[in-house]
Chains A and B, each alone.
Chain A
Amino acid sequence: QKVSVEVLDHLEHLALVDFRDSEGVERLQNAIQFADQLHEVNTDAVEPMDSVLEDRCLYLREDDVTEGNCTKELLENAREKVEEYFVAPPGNIPLPKLEERDTFLQGS
């Protein structure tokens, strides 16, 4: 079962990944196939486990101020800054639609 172009396009929008070429798409399909093996196990009436940590105790921290005040350090890696603010583009720039993108998926 191949993954449709619509789904691949949707994924590119959501995760801002670029499947780039047929190898990338194939790697995705192989990963899905690998994970699909889980369907062979009968899980009727079994609660899904979403973390191996489920039996661990969730540690609760006291409400004390112990961090912060490191503006200079945080801004060190910022390519652009304005008076201690990080600088970002004016808004989200959505990925152009499939027809308008220069992408491998176009040809599929």
Chain B
Amino acid sequence: MAARGCGGAWRRGWQRGRTLPGPAPGPFPRGQRVVACNARGGAVPAGKSGLAPWVPVVGLEIHAQISSNSKLFSGSQVQFAAPPNSLVSFFDASLPGTLPVLNRRCVEAAVMTGLALNCSINKKSLFDRKHYFYADLPAGYQITQQRVPIAVNGSLSYSLCIDNKMSQMVTKTVRIKQIQLEQDSGKSLHDDTRSQTLVDLNRAGVGLMEVVMEPDMCCGEEAAAAVRELQLILQTLGSSQAVMAEGQLRVDANVSVHHPGEPYGVRTEVKNINSIRFLAKAVDYEIQRQIEELENGGTILNETRAFDSKLGCTVPMRDKEGKQDYRFMPEPNLPPLILYDAKSLPANMNHQQVINIDWIHERLPDLPSVKREKLVEQYGILPEHSFALLNEDGLAEFYENVVKQTRMKPKRVIGWVLNDLLSYLKQHSLTVKESPVSSFLLADLLNLLEKKEISSTAAKQVLAELWKGEGKTPLEIVKEQKLQLLQDQKELEQICQAVIDRQENE
């Protein structure tokens, strides 16, 4: 496959599945890079020779669990692992006579997220009921925001590497259609042997932000990069911890293909994607499947498919038969949600009942893109370095701490942090927090190197020793292993002479 863009045939690219060399500190998934998109626009790969090229179209629906103590409409606790049905209130279980009461923190989380994604915040938004039957939805409907959601018309910028070398990054933007508040459902555990489903309602009623991304993406890599950036933003804001493995961030992909100039093709929805890596795989597989189907004269059904991570393919989902009619209706128990700004702030209202968009805006933390720019400006490192720093939890702080404690130039320190330290961490599957080498120790080591007391090679040796975490200081290790650079001219001469003598004797 061509290094730049999508020069090769789509099919060829899929079969070859190139691997990124070395550790991949970028914001995109490691491992198989199946498809690359044309940096200038949508991917336009050639199909079988002679046939017109295909333009894949990818949109995403992302559900992020709101990081809050209690649920969206009730006071039961939000917690990942707990005894079944122990975090469930009467309202969550849909017992008659219970009513929803909106959690202020959830509204604030949605406003923060909307502002961070450049959305217009709707000062008046409404709640609706979406009806469908499922064992983990005790009420028979989900309270959501279908007509007028809390935030609309935003954008998210993310970066991709054009080639495998990570030296050229391109920025892309995806439009955010809307963000809405809605309830999560309970969990179903399927027991096929006894032909039954076990239902745990601990998750029922937890607040979700659904972020809808317009179909501006064209391949798995773009989708993965966009979701990764969204994940970082949510974590920076604190509105969601967005850990996919714990179900705090769920992604459904909408995929279709069409020929350039023709209308969009029929789209399928792909669910059951459990990691950012699988997202890229699932999207690319589905694009390929649709192209093959259409090139063989078949048609694409507007269906929902599940991604099978073991087989690396998508399969039709059993339970989704036919088009669903959700019979949306306004939620009669909740008046409209009114938000205020500095201008419209009501004079006589209880502060606790008022949410001020401007107040929230002023207190937004620096978003990842801003943090990256500041790192580049402050330390003179490359954009791809700042990407790598922010891509690993705690690494940016680690780097800044090392820089503060050493006289070595930040541009030189970055190599040690990204190449040496990070690769050790990755090899041993450790987080920055778990690193046996603290920023203090690394700074200490780099100071020895900076003062030319040891060579670069010796420094790597010391680092390997430090990694064992035996509590020795860099200086102690240097002395133990006699790694000091000799400065004494006479001593050097003696050693050289001894080597020459030995050679002559052999």
Binding site for B on A (CB under 8 A): 10, 14-16, 50-51, 53-71, 74-75, 82-92, 94
- Report the separation of the CA atoms of residues A89 and B194 in the bound assembly, to the nearest whole angstrom: 10
- Could you tell me the dominant secondary structure of chain A's interface residues? loop
- Tell yes or no: B200 within 8 A of A by CB: yes
- Report the separation of the CA atoms of residues A51 and B259 in the bound assembly, to the nearest whole angstrom: 47
The reply to whether B84 and A85 contact each other, CB–CB distance below 8 Å, is: yes
Residue in contact with B321 in the complex, picked from A56, A68, A94, CB distance below 8 Å = A94
Q: Tell me the smallest distance from the CB of B7 to a CB of chain A, in Å.
A: 46
Which residues of B in the span 302-342 have a Cβ within 8 Å of any Cβ on A? 318-319, 321, 325, 327, 330, 332, 334-338
Apart from A53-B334, A60-B352, what 16 extra A-B contacts exist at CB < 8 Å? Answer: A14-B327, A51-B330, A51-B332, A58-B334, A60-B102, A62-B104, A66-B75, A68-B89, A70-B89, A84-B83, A84-B85, A87-B197, A90-B196, A91-B197, A91-B318, A92-B133
- Report the separation of the CA atoms of residues A61 and B91 in the bound assembly, to the nearest whole angstrom: 15
Find the residue from B102, B135, B321 having the highest chain A CB count within 10 A.
B135
Closest to A85 in B: B198
Residue in contact with A69 in the complex, picked from B86, B318, B353, B355, CB distance below 8 Å = B86
Contact status of A71 and B85, CB under 8 A, knowing A88-B199, A89-B196, A89-B197: yes
Chain B residues, Cβ within 8 Å of A92: 133-134, 319
Chain B residues, Cβ within 8 Å of A51: 330, 332, 335
Q: Tell me the smallest distance from the CB of A95 to a CB of chain B, in Å.
A: 10
Chain B residues, Cβ within 8 Å of A88: 135, 188, 196-199
Residue in contact with B84 in the complex, picked from A50, A64, A71, A94, CB distance below 8 Å = A71
The reply to whether B104 and A87 contact each other, CB–CB distance below 8 Å, is: no
Chain B residues, Cβ within 8 Å of A63: 68-70, 103-106
- Tell yes or no: B77 within 8 A of A by CB: yes
Chain B residues, Cβ within 8 Å of A61: 70, 75, 101-104
Which residues of B in the span 435-466 have a Cβ within 8 Å of any Cβ on A? none
- Tell yes or no: B76 within 8 A of A by CB: yes
- Report the separation of the CA atoms of residues A10 and B86 in the bound assembly, to the nearest whole angstrom: 37
Q: Tell me the smallest distance from the CB of A7 to a CB of chain B, in Å.
A: 11
- Tell yes or no: B62 within 8 A of A by CB: no
Q: Tell me the smallest distance from the CB of A82 to a CB of chain B, in Å.
A: 6
Chain A residues, Cβ within 8 Å of B77: 65, 68
- Report the separation of the CA atoms of residues A69 and B131 in the bound assembly, to the nearest whole angstrom: 28
Chain A residues, Cβ within 8 Å of B321: 94
Chain A residues, Cβ within 8 Å of B85: 71, 74-75, 84-86
Chain A residues, Cβ within 8 Å of B86: 68-69, 71, 84
Q: Tell me the smallest distance from the CB of B355 to a CB of chain A, in Å.
A: 7
Q: Tell me the smallest distance from the CB of B96 to a CB of chain A, in Å.
A: 11
Interface pairs (23), CB distance under 8 Å: A50-B330, A54-B335, A60-B102, A61-B103, A62-B105, A63-B103, A63-B106, A65-B69, A66-B70, A67-B74, A67-B75, A68-B87, A69-B86, A71-B86, A82-B196, A86-B199, A86-B200, A87-B198, A87-B199, A88-B135, A88-B197, A89-B196, A92-B319
